[in-house]
Amino acid sequence: MLTELLREIRKRPGIRLPAATLTALEAYLNGLFEGIESASAGQLPTAETVELWNGFVSYVLESYSPLPRAAGWRRAITFHSFDDASALEDFFELYERYLRERETHDATPPQTPPPEGKV
């Protein structure tokens, strides 16, 4: 399985990696092996976890809505952030905002792109 996966990535890295770099491959493989370890320990994501994540992704994409949905959540946040480092903080701010709004009223996306201080 691993050899086949690595050969697929080598042929078409853009399908699984955000960038054709060794750093991106390392992050992908670390996530893969962490997922395998969690699954073997019986810690699979629940339907509630998947629903929460899918709701957050929709919230992000709707928050930055002239961007096409195909751009993806990461690109939407990065596009509206000052740089990649601030995009990470923006991700967490958006996630916390989503959770607060979800608790109070089903997470309606804001009308203006959050958070402040972006280009």
Chain segment 16-33, per-residue pLDDT in tens: 999 898 989 999 999 999
pLDDT of 9 over the 70 cut: yes
Residue 63 has a CB neighbour count (10 Å cut-off) of 23
Q: How far apart are the first and last CA of the chain?
A: 43
pTM of the model: 0.65
Nearest CA to 66 out of 22, 1, 112 is that of 112
| 86 Cβ contact list (under 8 Å, min separation 6) | 117, 118
What is the per-residue pLDDT for 8?
94
pLDDT of 119 over the 50 cut: no
pLDDT tens readout for residues 66-101: 766 667 888 888 888 888 888 989 999 999 999 999
Distance (Å) of CA 91 to CA 4, 6, 78, 94: 33, 29, 9, 5
Ranges 5-9, 63-67, 104-108, most confident: 5-9
Q: Is 17 exposed, middle or buried (0-12, 13-18, 19+ CB in 10 A)?
A: middle
